[in-house]
Amino acid sequence: MYDQVMESLGYIRKKVTCEPKIAVILGSGLGSLVDAVEQAQEISYEEIPNFPLSTVKGHAGKLVFGKINGVETLLMQGRFHYYEGYTMKEITYPIYVMKQLGIEKIIVTNACGGINQSFEPGTLMLIRDFINLFGNNPLIGMNDERFGPRFPDMSEPYKIELIDKAKKIADELSIKYAEGVYAGFMGPYYETAAEIVMIQRHGADAVGMSTVPETIVANYLGIDVLGIACITNMATGIQKVKHSHERVVETAQKASTDLCKWVVSIIEEFSIS
């Protein structure tokens, strides 16, 4: 895979002049952060050698390079999911490319379901830790030491220092937030009520179908991660109406104003630290 990553890197380097140290992965309905990018240079996934293609509504499928309040930043507008039929290596492939591009910090966002009953749709949750319920992980197989160690540490998958900075910024901006544990579920169906009871007993506050594989690989590669989940619906058995992807995207878009304001300020803070 190393040679494939280098091929992708070479193509991107020919297309963009931006050299960001910070990247943001945008979840469903959270793509409006792109509007804050100045001097934007966009590359569609389909152009990049070896890149998968995003197939989910609400995921634009492109890399956006540019400046956010003067800070060179890479936005991944649209991610890949295990339920789309991709392998774990394929859905995390962009993280390997980001590392070679010089990315040192990644802000991972997502739209997900709330299990903690103190939450409500629109809540922004800082992710403290994750639970992997995919039944798989992206590091299985032969290890290439050029990327990272065979047995990476996961004692701090979401960097505590970054979490503390994000909390301080949220308080300064009067943005309400929660904290919690995110469980990654394979999907693509919304979890059953019995599964939610099980996941809750495992200690999860929210559940979604992404983020965990990307977090694992970023830590493996030595990239610091901050995770922010947007609670777009309450989970099955808690929510009284049936789920729909359209409602998820709509709620995420409503919450995106605060999220974008928060992420912009976080990017500024990260750039000087």
Q: DSSP state, 235?
A: P
Asked if 81 is an active-site residue, the reply is yes
Asked if 202 is an active-site residue, the reply is no
What are phi and psi for residue 267, nearest 5 degrees? Answer: -60, -45
Q: Annotated catalytic residue: which of 54, 110, 116, 233?
A: 233
Asked if 193 is an active-site residue, the reply is no
Q: Annotated catalytic residue: which of 7, 84, 104, 269?
A: 84
Q: Annotated catalytic residue: which of 8, 54, 110, 210?
A: 210
Q: Annotated catalytic residue: which of 81, 93, 191, 265?
A: 81
Among residues 182, 179, 211, 215, which one has the least CA distance to residue 199? 182
The answer, yes or no, to whether the previous bond of 213 is cis (omega within 30 of 0) is: no
Asked if 84 is an active-site residue, the reply is yes
Asked if 273 is an active-site residue, the reply is no
Q: Annotated catalytic residue: which of 11, 83, 86, 177?
A: 83
Q: Annotated catalytic residue: which of 209, 218, 235, 252?
A: 209
Asked if 83 is an active-site residue, the reply is yes
Q: Would you say 18 and 66 are in contact if contact means Cβ atoms under 8 Å apart? A: yes
Asked if 116 is an active-site residue, the reply is no
Q: What is the CA radius of gyration of the chain?
A: 17
End-to-end CA distance of the chain: 32
Query: Which tokens is 44 given?
Result: 């569609």
Asked if 234 is an active-site residue, the reply is no
Q: Annotated catalytic residue: which of 59, 82, 90, 158?
A: 59
Q: Annotated catalytic residue: which of 137, 177, 245, 250?
A: 245
Q: Annotated catalytic residue: which of 36, 76, 111, 252?
A: 111
- Residues that are catalytic: 28, 59, 81, 83-84, 111, 209-210, 233, 245
